[in-house]
Amino acid sequence: MAGLAACSTGKPGPILSVDAARLRAVTAACPVTGLETLSLDAAVGRVTAGSTTAASALPPFDNSAMDGYALCMSDLAGDGPWRLPVSARITAGDGRALTLSAGSVARIFTGAPVPLGADAVVMQEHVTRSGNMITVSRPPRCGQNIRRRGEDVAQGALALGAGRALTPQRLALLAGCGVASVAVRARVRVAILSTGNELAEPGQPRGPGQIYNSNRVLLRATLSRLPWVDLADLGILPDDPGSIRGAIRLAAKSNDVIISSGGVSAGEEDHILDALRAEAAELDVLKVAIRPGKPLTVGRLGQALYFGLPGNPYAAAITLSQIARPALNRVAGLTEGTDAWLPAVAGFTYSRRTGRREYVPVTWSGRDPLGRPIIARLGQGASASLSPIAQAMGIAVIPQDMDVVRPGQPLSVEPLSESALF
Ligand SMILES: Nc1nc2c(c(=O)[nH]1)N[C@H]1C(S)=C(S)[C@@H](COP(=O)(O)OP(=O)(O)OC[C@H]3O[C@@H](n4cnc5c(N)ncnc54)[C@H](O)[C@@H]3O)O[C@H]1N2
Ligand code: MOO
């Protein structure tokens, strides 16, 4: 595993910047090697394994962009208006190979093949028709209203590259090029688990000293939205080193990625690190200059990439999106970024301790003259709080060394609605 040797003993190394930690996580990730060929319907959201060339040109033949009349521009010589006879009628789906008779026009409909000899289509609103004759009052430009064969994608040209998520738009492109099935990467097998004696599942009796498990549904709901994830939920593990060791050893045998929450900070009841060390995992990232989420473990256990997220729910959500997700994308074989950050301006004052990049839940109701959202901060930054992130329209990022945020301060914000993750 690239980049892990220096820290393979798992001793806490220096605190890493968010970018450095993300890079190490991404570098440690290897794309899954399995492939499958799926119909377009079955491939939605999956990741292309190779590039696809157009089986058919798009469009496959010259066709009309308007309901109107196909004509030859040389028949519109001199000053108009021009009177011409209608010699043919061509509808969409007409399979005849027609040639336009000299000195005439063809009635034509949107999507119908343009006859040989025609070099423009005049839309019907720009002519008057009387019986079998039309009068053209506004001549088209040469080539106007003709969609040329292959102008969108030429036959045999690259329709879609490798490492792309198959969005509805890209599936439509492949369909338009006559491609019926596509080779995609195998799903990424991800196992999730929550640790902590204090956890009870909602709907179950909650004992004294227990809290309800919010990270399990957070991870499950987030990851199950990714069509290229094959999720295994290992439930709650008690704070017992033996159980944790056994569960992660087993999970590493049949998963590409393991994501746990809790048990990664300094206390002797935080057993994830000990369990990983006992299983001879290679450990890399152990501390990140991020708020929330400083105690974070990234490593490899056998063939599986391991993410030990902090237990506090907001810290788990942020480390999942900022560190684990980019690495997961690489395991999935994605080669394109999912960077959805937008410019915004602060509408609040916040004096803060420097040294960690901070992710702040925000909302907005207005925009500045440049169209940037003016953001309001939600909550007090507690990494155990769930209401701020539940109300948030986005997450703003405060740079590591900024000691005070004042109104008007430009900040980046990731809108939650457009985020690839939340
Ligand atoms: N002495 C130190 N203590 C702590 C440090 C530190 O550096 N030194 N870091 C603090 C920070 S920052 C965080 S974040 C947490 C991370 O702790 P762990 O990852 O070890 O997680 P736990 O101790 O197991 O839990 C932390 C917190 O989160 C609650 N939790 C855990 N799992 C869930 C869940 N599935 N659903 C909801 N809530 C959960 C747990 O009850 C704790 O309250 O450590 C600090 N301490
Ligand atoms: O990461 Mo902790 O969440 O900084 O509170």
Say what the ipTM of the complex is. 0.95
What is the structure's pLDDT at 11? 53
List of residues 6+ apart from 209 with CB closer than 8 A: 198
Helix/strand/coil percentages in the chain, nearest 5: 20, 30, 45
Protein residue whose Cα sits closest to atom 30 of ligand 1: 311
Answer whether 294 contacts ligand 2 (Cβ < 6 A): yes
Note the pTM of the prediction, 2 decimals. 0.92
What is the structure's pLDDT at 12? 55
Burial of 132 (0-12, 13-18, 19+ CB in 10 A): exposed
For the chain, 422 residues long, give each residue's pLDDT as a single digit of tens.
444 433 344 455 689 999 999 999 999 999 999 999 999 999 999 999 999 999 999 999 999 999 999 999 999 998 989 999 999 999 999 999 999 999 999 999 999 999 999 999 999 999 999 999 999 989 999 999 999 999 999 999 999 999 999 999 999 999 999 999 999 999 999 999 999 999 999 999 999 999 999 999 999 999 999 999 999 999 999 999 999 999 999 999 999 999 999 988 877 778 899 999 999 999 988 899 999 998 999 999 999 999 999 999 999 999 999 999 999 999 999 998 877 899 999 999 999 999 999 999 999 999 999 999 999 999 998 999 999 999 999 999 999 999 999 999 999 999 987 444 33
- Gyration radius of the chain over CA positions: 30
Protein residue whose Cα sits closest to atom 3 of ligand 2: 292
List of residues 6+ apart from 40 with CB closer than 8 A: 166, 171, 174, 175, 179, 180, 181, 182
Chain-centroid distance of CA 389 in Å reads: 20
Mutate to test the pocket of ligand 1, among 291, 312, 320, 385 (most ligand atoms within 8 A of CB): 312
Residue 398 host element (H or E): strand 394-398
Protein residue whose Cα sits closest to atom 43 of ligand 1: 312
Please give the number of the atom of ligand 1 that sits closest to the Cα of 384.
28
Residue 241 host element (H or E): helix 241-254
CA 412 – CA 394 distance, rounded (Å): 10
405 CA from centroid of ligand 1 (Å)? 27
CA 119 – CA 377 distance, rounded (Å): 60
Please, what are the domains in the chain? 5-34+186-332 (3.40.980.10), 36-58+151-184 (3.90.105.10), 63-147 (2.170.190.11), 342-415 (2.40.340.10)
Query: Which CA distances in Å does 340 have to 69, 321, 343, 418, 419?
Result: 45, 12, 10, 7, 6
Query: Which CA distances in Å does 256 have to 34, 218, 298, 300?
Result: 12, 20, 14, 10
Burial of 258 (0-12, 13-18, 19+ CB in 10 A): buried
CA 422 – CA 417 distance, rounded (Å): 8
Answer whether 260 contacts ligand 1 (Cβ < 6 A): no
Protein residue whose Cα sits closest to atom 19 of ligand 1: 310
Residue 346 host element (H or E): strand 342-346
Chain-centroid distance of CA 132 in Å reads: 54
Closest ligand (CA of 264): 1
What is the structure's pLDDT at 112? 98
Query: Which CA distances in Å does 31 have to 49, 52, 59, 336?
Result: 10, 19, 35, 13
List of residues 6+ apart from 306 with CB closer than 8 A: 248, 252, 257, 258, 260, 276, 281, 297, 298, 299, 300
Neighbour tally for 418: CB within 10 Å: 11
φ/ψ bin of 223: left (φ > 0), alpha (ψ from -120 to 50), beta (otherwise): alpha
